[in-house]
Structure 1
């Protein structure tokens, strides 16, 4: 079984598929049983289960600790 990535609130992540607007970076807005992410380009927000998020995440672009 694959280890889950260590992501936190306000991390900027890259997903495997780009958003319809063309951007591929998302900010994590909520972490729990569901994950809420917001597109950094068009501000569209989506929610998905933690299981689906773990399948679709590619990598963490910027950790929240690096941003502040």
Structure 2
């Protein structure tokens, strides 16, 4: 299976939406754990990279700064 590509500050869509009603999350920290911030209410969650890879649906907006 192909590894999903995402970078810092990308806006991603997860499989389940947040209780506030939005499904857009901003990646604010990358490492062994990944911290994502809800674009609707500002709540942030840190989850292990392996769990994040399972729950990620797609990258909505990428910040390609290369």
TM-score norm. by structure 1 comes to 0.91
Q: Which runs of 5+ in 1 are unaligned?
A: none
Moved over 2 A (4+): none
| CA RMSD between the two structures | 1.1
**CA deviations over 1:2-45 (Å, ceiling 9, x no partner):** 22211000000000000010100000000110000000010000
SS in structure 2 opposite 1:20? coil
Task: Please state if 1:41 is matched with 2:40.
Answer: yes
Normalising by structure 2, what TM-score?
A: 0.94
- Runs (5+) with no aligned partner, structure 2: none
| Number of residue pairs matched by the alignment | 65
Give the structure with the higher percent helix. 1
